[in-house]
């Protein structure tokens, strides 16, 4: 993997659950219908409590009202990101909003697998407490292949990310179904 992900950080805290990522009231939209699927992006992070956006001077929304895409393409989380229900719509909502990567200390296992299996977002883990080192709005660059994240805003400080391991080929393929097709486990 030599892909580089660039963009602004959206910083959250610990225990961000799937109902905060995409509240249940928005699950009436059909993710298979392109005209409805975009609403998952519009309402991504709509349930995150005030004060969770990592800004010292106030709160900011992940997606501005009445828009479908976020200004933030990299989500920084703390511990237990994606806990709660096994809602597969959570990583879909983040991806529909335009983010391509989540970096957290660790994930609820089902969120991690839904991210990988659906090919929605790259779920990196880190041994550092990045929610205390990175600020919402910081410009970041992630070298997926090297497993490194550079904070351009903070003078190029580099943070090591844990290897993706066995899920890397699935992420490269764009999800578990694409991987199964590419590897001959499923007919194309």
- Name beta bridge partners: 174: none
Sorted by where each starts, the structural domains of the chain and their CATH numbers stand as 4-182 (3.20.19.10)
Share of the chain above pLDDT 90, in %: 79
- The answer to whether the CB of 113 falls within 8 A of the CB of 47 is no
Query: Tens digit of pLDDT for each residue in 164-183?
Result: 999 999 999 999 988 898 88
| 148-151 and 139-143 beta bridge pairing | antiparallel
Bridge partners of 149?
142, 159
- pTM, 2 dp: 0.92
The pLDDT assigned to 48 comes to 87
Query: Averaged over 55-68, what is the pLDDT?
Result: 77
72-91 pLDDT per residue, tens: 999 999 999 999 887 889 99
Q: Which of 150, 16, 139 is nearest to 71 (CA)?
A: 139
Query: Dihedral sign, CA of 127, 131, 132, 137?
Result: positive
């Amino acid at each position: 993997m030599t892909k580089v992900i660039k963009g602004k950080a959206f910083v959250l805290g610990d225990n961000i659950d799937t109902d905060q990522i995409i509240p249940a009231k928005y699950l009436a939209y059909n993710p298979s219908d392109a005209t409805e699927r975009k609403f998952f992006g519009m309402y991504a992070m709509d349930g995150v409590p005030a004060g969770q956006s990592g800004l010292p001077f106030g709160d900011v929304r992940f997606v501005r009202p009445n828009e479908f895409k976020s200004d933030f393409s990299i989500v920084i989380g703390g511990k237990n990101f994606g806990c709660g229900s096994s809602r597969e719509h959570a990583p879909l909502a983040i991806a529909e909003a335009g983010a391509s990567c989540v970096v957290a200390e660790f994930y609820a296992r089902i969120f991690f697998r839904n991210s990988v299996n659906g090919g929605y977002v790259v779920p990196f883990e880190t041994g550092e407490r990045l929610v205390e080192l990175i600020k919402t709005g910081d410009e970041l660059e992630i070298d997926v292949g090297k497993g490194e994240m550079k904070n351009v805003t903070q003078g190029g400080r580099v943070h090591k990310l844990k290897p993706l391991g066995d899920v890397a080929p699935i992420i490269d393929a764009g999800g578990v179904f694409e991987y199964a097709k590419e590897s001959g486990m499923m007919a194309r």
